[in-house]
Structure 1
């Protein structure tokens, strides 16, 4: 029986893209999420990250190659009113998945972290040596997850790393997304007034590029670093992003007021050279092309 890859958060934006990539390559996978569905022909089991016995049951009797751990309360805009639930899902859930990997003899563990681990930064480029100063419980939960992944490697020999993903977009995103709001308003012929964002930088990454980086890390012969920055390779202000949407949807009207996004950290340019050098990662979807695909998907009701 072929080794299987366990994908958590498989019905989410990134997990779904990972599962599709694995299926396209003919690689067997076990998929879990909070909701039952089928993606790329792979059934997704409705199991919470805290349901340890159910997770063991899914893996028992299979040869587990490793885990690509996308499951989480994802994003600083979520879980703010229930921080303990965020901690339980993101930290305890990660520990549970590491235990699954350890007990079942997996060779590799790749975790989804976030640029939120850095907290707000201004001006200077951010690389993996930049101090981690999260400003949110979400960011702190991702720092804790990174340390758990690294510690399991040191203490238990489970090879792994964490990818610090920037702001992920794509038509399958179900959590709040300003880019989706812009496109939806343009398609509906409605004006959109955003009370912030002019001059505010954001570093988007398409879900397909995030998935490519995660699978590349899973397959890398070696993982020299405990964490890697992974972005779409460019930085744009939100008003520049709005201009891209309006250029592709003539007649759309998007106005942004000055000021920061109240639910996001300000980040200077994020350096992805380490992911390029160690993992062979290069973003394939430039933002204007990604926006065009997003528009097409929403037009088709996807």
Structure 2
């Protein structure tokens, strides 16, 4: 049965993938972002999440059954010099969207959170019960948004769930992503030289898998918990990821020195068994496939 879904941050990396997948299966989409774009069914309407009046006007004009909330400053490297705006967009913006869900009686809201909410993790396999100790303002905003979403469920009956996404990558990413940069630089014959960071651990997830997980959470008949960690089930160092880029693109000239990435959280492998069990999530894009896809699509850009 076709449904109407509000997608915030619809012009971003994950939001765009969500819109494409929803439309492909026959749903109607109300797509919003701070920058309008596109045309036809995939048209994105301009709407700043801080503008509650605009959000209510959109909800009044087109009632919808669910919300996938991707709109935010995405990543600890974004708006680092403007922490106040991080809070306004990521926390207040989420509260505004939750109010839409409450007042307009939306069936379910799926909130994009981040593994940055964990900060450093204990050793071993990391479940959702691990301590949440964010080390950045970005991570703190994601944790705050999660807690507010859960409180809306507990106090107001808003069926809200948060997905803690790992390192999302894809050809459409506009903020910095070293994996994408390695591929893009290789395609134009530019060497990659980094003095350190090769031992940093990464848990990548392709944007298409992230979008699929969000839709799985929207569709799930019953939720066992209010937060799920979602990765591409891939755990490797930056050096190992660079080696995979070289295997896909033999011309790649990449040199990355040893050691951690300065300012990185130390995170061990995340357990995604809860998302598999409750949401039916299963990553479909291997890192090698994702790198090939990025190369093919960046060549055609």
TM-score, length-normalised on structure 2?
0.97
Aligned-residue Cα RMSD (Å) equals 1.4
Contact 1:2/1:63, CA 8 A, preserved across alignment = no
Provide, for residues 257-293 of structure 1, a one-character-per-residue CA deviation record: whole Å limited to 9, x for no partner. 1222235322100000000000000100010011000
Contact 1:200/1:260, CA 8 A, preserved across alignment = yes
Q: Take 1:22 and 1:3, find their aligned partners in 2: how far apart are those partners?
A: 9
Q: Take 1:26 and 1:264, find their aligned partners in 2: how far apart are those partners?
A: 40
Q: Take 2:259 and 2:151, find their aligned partners in 1: how far apart are those partners?
A: 39
Deviation, structure 1 residue 224? 1.5
Equivalent residue for 1:243? Answer: 243
Matches within 5 A, 1:257-268: 257-268=257-268
Provide, for residues 161-194 of structure 1, a one-character-per-residue CA deviation record: whole Å limited to 9, x for no partner. 1000000000010000101111112111221101
Equivalent residue for 2:76? Answer: 76
Question: Greater strand share, 1 or 2?
Answer: 1
Provide, for residues 66-93 of structure 1, a one-character-per-residue CA deviation record: whole Å limited to 9, x for no partner. 2100000010011111101000000000
Equivalent residue for 1:165? Answer: 165
Equivalent residue for 1:212? Answer: 212
In structure 2, list runs of 5 or more residues that go unmatched.
none
Matches within 5 A, 1:88-167: 88-121=88-121, 123-167=123-167
Contact 1:110/1:214, CA 8 A, preserved across alignment = yes
Q: Take 1:183 and 1:162, find their aligned partners in 2: how far apart are those partners?
A: 31
Matches within 5 A, 1:1-302: 3-38=3-38, 41-121=41-121, 123-301=123-301
Provide, for residues 232-252 of structure 1, a one-character-per-residue CA deviation record: whole Å limited to 9, x for no partner. 001011011111111111221
Aligned structure 1 segments of 4 or more residues deviating by more than 3 angstroms = none
Contact 2:36/2:44, CA 8 A, preserved across alignment = yes
TM-score, length-normalised on structure 1?
0.96
Q: Take 1:98 and 1:211, find their aligned partners in 2: how far apart are those partners?
A: 20
Q: Take 2:251 and 2:2, find their aligned partners in 1: how far apart are those partners?
A: 53
Q: Take 2:253 and 2:64, find their aligned partners in 1: how far apart are those partners?
A: 50
Query: What is the aligned residue count?
Result: 301
Deviation, structure 1 residue 2? 6.3
Deviation, structure 1 residue 3? 4.2
